[in-house]
Amino acid sequence: ANGTHPGRVAAQFPGAGATGESIVRLVVGGPEPGTVLPDVLGESRSRAEYWLNTLGVAVEIVEAWDPDAVSDDGRPRAVWGQLPAPGAPITDVVTLWVNP
């Protein structure tokens, strides 16, 4: 639902305390239609997880060293791999490869 944080219940029908219904509908917040995955390559692990979690995406972390994963200024990159790739449609889970 618009204006609701991803994964949070925005509305419930019937409302709390109602009786006699066998079906309850929940409206849960999610990303806006057409939202794509951001590019978190080069970000710290915590920052990448934060941005993806705010979109309602679960993050799977694979810790693996990549000596070639350095930024333009020579610092080691925390996140050096992302699947699905940046710009892909939002999915439930994103896998990130990070230097330990």
3-state secondary structure of 52: helix
Distance CA 37, CA 40 (A): 9
Is pTM beyond 0.85? Reply is no
In order of their start, the domains of the chain are 1-30 (no CATH), 34-98 (3.30.10.20)
36 Rama class: left (phi>0) / alpha (psi -120 to 50) / beta:
beta
- Tens-place pLDDT, residues 23-77: 656 555 666 777 899 999 989 888 999 999 888 889 999 998 887 776 655 566 6
pLDDT band at 1 (very low <50, low <70, confident <90, very high): very low
Give the E-state strand segments of the chain in sequence order. Answer: 9-13, 25-28, 58-63, 79-83, 93-98
